[in-house]
Amino acid sequence: MKVFLMFSDKNISAKGETYYAKDDLVADLELEPIISCMAQKDETIKTMCRAALFSPLKSADEIRYRQENLKDALQNPDAVRQLYDITVETEKKRKKAWLWLSSMYLSSTFSNAVDLVKLYTEMLRELRLVADRSLPGFRSDGFRRLLAMFQRELDDDYFQTVRSHLESLRDSKGMLISSKLGSHLQGVGYVLRRNDRKGFWTRWRFAPSYTIAPRDDAGATDLVRRCDRAINEATNALAQAAEHLEDFFAVLRGELAFYVGCLNLADQLRRLDMPVCMPELLPQSGSSRNWKELYDISLALTKNGKVVGNDLNTGDKRLYIITGANQGGKTTFLRSIGQAQLMAQCGMFVGAGSFAAPVRPLIFTHFKKEEDSAMKSGKLDEELLRMSRLADHLESGALMLFNESFAVTNEREGSEICRQITQALIENGVEVFSVTHLDVFAEAFLEDRRTQYLRAQRLENGERTFKIIPGEPLRTAYGEDLYRQIFATAK
Which of 61-65, 93-97, 120-124, 304-308 has the weakest average pLDDT? Answer: 93-97
pLDDT value for 227? 79
Which of 98-107, 208-217, 253-262, 364-373 has the weakest average pLDDT? Answer: 98-107
- pLDDT above 60 (res 483): no
pLDDT value for 176? 76
Q: Predicted confidence band at 197 (pLDDT cuts at 50, 70, 90)?
A: low
Residues 447-472, mean pLDDT to the nearest whole number: 92
- pLDDT above 90 (res 384): yes
Q: Predicted confidence band at 95 (pLDDT cuts at 50, 70, 90)?
A: confident
Percent of the chain's residues with pLDDT above 70: 90
Query: What value does the mean pLDDT of the chain take?
Result: 89
Q: What is the 3-state secondary structure (H, E, C) of the chain?
A: CCCCCCCCCCCCCCCCCCCCCHHHHHHHCCCHHHHHHHHCCCHHHHHHHHHHHCCCCCCHHHHHHHHHHHHHHHHCHHHHHHHHHHHHHHHHHHHHCCCCCCCCCHHHHHHHHHHHHHHHHHHHHHHHHHHHHHHHHCCCHHHHHHHHHHHHHCCHHHHHHHHHHHHHHCCCCCCEEEEEECCCCCEEEEEEECCCCCCHHHHHCCCCCCCCCCCCHHHHHHHHHHHHHHHHHHHHHHHHHHHHHHHHHHHHHHHHHHHHHHHHHHHHHHHCCCCCECCEEECCCCCCEEEEEECCHHHHHHHCCCCCCEEEEECCCCEEEEEECCCCCHHHHHHHHHHHHHHHCCCCCECCCEEEEECCCCEEEEECCCCCCCCCCCHHHHHHHHHHHHHCCCCCCCEEEEECCCCCCCHHHHHHHHHHHHHHHHHCCCEEEEECCCHHHHHCCCCCCCEEEEEEEECCCCCEEEEEEECCCCCCCCHHHHHHHHHHHHC
pLDDT value for 357? 97
Residues 126-136, mean pLDDT to the nearest whole number: 97
Q: Predicted confidence band at 199 (pLDDT cuts at 50, 70, 90)?
A: low
pLDDT in tens, 27-43: 999 999 999 999 999 99
Q: Predicted confidence band at 103 (pLDDT cuts at 50, 70, 90)?
A: low
Residues 230-252, mean pLDDT to the nearest whole number: 89
pLDDT in tens, 223-237: 778 877 877 888 888
pLDDT in tens, 418-450: 999 999 999 999 999 999 999 999 999 999 999
Question: Does 107 or 173 have the greater pLDDT score?
Answer: 107
pLDDT value for 486? 63
pLDDT value for 164? 86
Residues 111-115, mean pLDDT to the nearest whole number: 86
- pLDDT above 80 (res 114): yes
Residues 145-164, mean pLDDT to the nearest whole number: 94
Q: Predicted confidence band at 217 (pLDDT cuts at 50, 70, 90)?
A: confident
Residues 302-316, mean pLDDT to the nearest whole number: 96
pLDDT value for 97? 77
Residues 121-142, mean pLDDT to the nearest whole number: 97
Q: Predicted confidence band at 409 (pLDDT cuts at 50, 70, 90)?
A: confident
